[in-house]
Structure 1
Amino acid sequence: MKKLGLLILSGFTLMLSGCSGINVLDPKSSTGKDQAYLIWLSLAIMTLVLVVVFVLFAYFVYKYRYSKARKDYKPVDVDGNRKLELTYTIIPVILLIILAVPTVRITLEQSPDTSASQTPEDGTTKIEVTGRQFEWEFKHENGAEVKDELVLPEDEDIEFNLHSEDLIHSFWIPELAGKVDVFPNKELTYIIRDVERGEYEGKCAEFCGVQHTNMTFSVKVISKEDYRAYINDLK
């Protein structure tokens, strides 16, 4: 028993060792908040279903538990119950619709696009992102290129034009939005809307070689005035 306890404790320790201080459920952009909303919505629906199932399970186990008074009891054979059958068919369909409608809408709005816009819209900052073993390169609108450091203006939409120079990488800033796979010979456009000021960590979320763990980059979201000064300094 003692060995089993140590084994379980070791397993939990290993799982926790992979955790970090990144909180993907407290996103700092409108895009990330929509994605977190889907997670919370699905979790709420699953919790509701789980509670109902366990309550019914406990109720029927108690109600029909074995006792000496019931040892010779034979239940009545029932062909079916139309109302009950409709109830446990219609309710799951309604729950799936509640989950499916916002999921489809948000997914279609946020899915990366293969067509890159030539000129950014007003209030949009355009940045070209290149992934390669084992670094990220960011090219700003003035042509300046920076490696492993991404500086962004706050409260603006950021349009990332993503591509890889070698193999598949995955562009991910956990506290801003979900991950996007980056492919060689293919350019994807991904927009993160209304980023909030702060410092974050970006990384490659697709195993890409022996130095994959070091393929990280820092993210700083600063005021628009400071961003313009930063761009000018890069020139």
Structure 2
Amino acid sequence: MKKLLTIPLFLLLAGCDITVLNAKSETGQDQAFLIWFSFGLMMVVLLIVFVLFARFVWKYRETSLNKDTLPKDVKGNKKLEITWTTLAVLLLAVLAVPTVAITYNQSPILSSSEETEQSAVHVNVTGQQYFWTFSYENGKETTNKLIIPANNTIVFHLKSKDVIHSFWIPKLAGKTDVLPGKELIYKIVNPEEGTYEGQCAEFCGVQHTKMQFTTEVVSIADYEEWLGK
């Protein structure tokens, strides 16, 4: 059923690389689920509306038998009004439950409220016009190249040296603002091995397009070897 509902979308966007729907981490997969889930609900509503629309157009069309007949003026049907209102509330509730749960779990938080996760990999991320600096637990630094281990929880400590930036790796997770004067914590859970493109998704100046970086997700053994552990 899900595939049938998405056929029109795929036909419309044929040839496009919709990276956010091809997630390569648990974090990204949860976000992609919300997109598919909300899209599916909207398609169900749209289908019902079009079916009813077609039925009423056909049923109440003008014919030789009724062209001189004035339809009876009928007041609102309370049962139907209550039904439509109840269905709308139920649909919103069904959509709200996973949305609130996933959004609450994945929302970035201030560093002062974050409990230390000993088993996680911590990376300090600094946005600056117009490049990214990544600092690792042993003090090693890279510029515009992020290296992290696969199948781990990655905790990013996001900071900005100047203006508001937005940290975004489309295939791994959604956008997260990087604010001057504040440190935000954001997690990506269990990324898959591979190379992914990242960028700043917030216009931050005339050379905004240069704020791109490459993310390499490698095995834990290769990561520890690169880190020099």
TM-score normalised by the chain length of structure 2: 0.89
1:185 is matched with 181
The match for 1:102 among 98, 102, 123 is: 98
Provide structure 2 residue ranges, at least 5 long, that are not aligned to the other structure. Answer: 1-12
Among the aligned pairs, what percent are the same residue?
Answer: 53
The Cα shift of 1:20 comes to 6.6
CA contact (8 A) 1:22 1:175 kept: no
- Residue 204 of structure 1: aligned partner: 200
Output the CA distance in 2 between the equivalents of 1:31 and 1:54. 35
- Whether 1:125 aligns to 2:121 is yes
**Greater mean deviation of Cα atoms: 224-233 or 179-188:** 224-233
Superposed CA RMSD in Å reads 1.7
Q: Does 1:91 align with 2:87?
A: yes
2:140 to 131, 138, 144: 144
Question: Does 2:22 match 1:26?
Answer: yes
CA displacement at 1:146 relative to structure 2: 0.6
Q: CA offset at residue 137 of structure 1?
A: 0.2
Deviation of the 1:118 alpha carbon? 7.1
SS, match of residue 218 in structure 1: strand
The amino acid across from 1:96 in the alignment is L
SS at match of 2:217: strand
SS in 1 for 2:110: coil
CA distance in 2 between counterparts of 1:22 and 1:72 reads: 54
What is the CA-CA distance between 1:80 and the residue it aligns to?
Answer: 3.2
User: Per-residue deviation at 1:89?
Assistant: 1.0
CA contact (8 A) 2:111 2:157 kept: no
Is the 1:22–1:174 Cα contact (8 Å) retained in structure 2?
no
Report the counterpart of residue 82 of structure 1 in structure 2: 78
Deviations 1:167-193 (A, max 9, x none): 010000000000001011011000111
Contact kept in structure 1, 2:125 and 2:156, CA below 8 Å = yes
> 5+ unaligned residues in a row in structure 1: which ranges?
1-15
Equivalent residue for 1:6? none
Shift of 1:214: 1.2
Kept in 2: contact 1:201–1:216 (CA 8 A)? yes
SS in 1 for 2:182: coil
Assess if the C-alpha contact under 8 Å between 2:121 and 2:152 holds in 1. Answer: yes
Instruction: Give 2:58's match in structure 1, choosing from 49, 56, 62.
Output: 62
CA distance in 1, matches of 2:33, 2:121: 25
Does the Cα contact within 8 Å between 2:124 and 2:135 map onto a contact in 1? Answer: yes
Letter in 2 for 1:106: I
Match in the other structure for 1:41: 37
Supply the distance in 1 between the matched residues of 2:27 and 2:115 (Cα, whole angstroms). 22
Q: C-alpha displacement at 1:23, in angstroms?
A: 1.2
The reply on whether 1:174 has 2:181 as its aligned counterpart is no
Distance in structure 1 (CA, Å) of the matches to 2:68 and 2:209: 66
Q: CA deviation at 1:22?
A: 5.4
Cα distance per residue 1:46-102 (max 9 Å; x no partner): 111111111111111111111222112122332332321221111111100000011
User: What is the TM-score of this pair, normalised by structure 1?
Assistant: 0.87
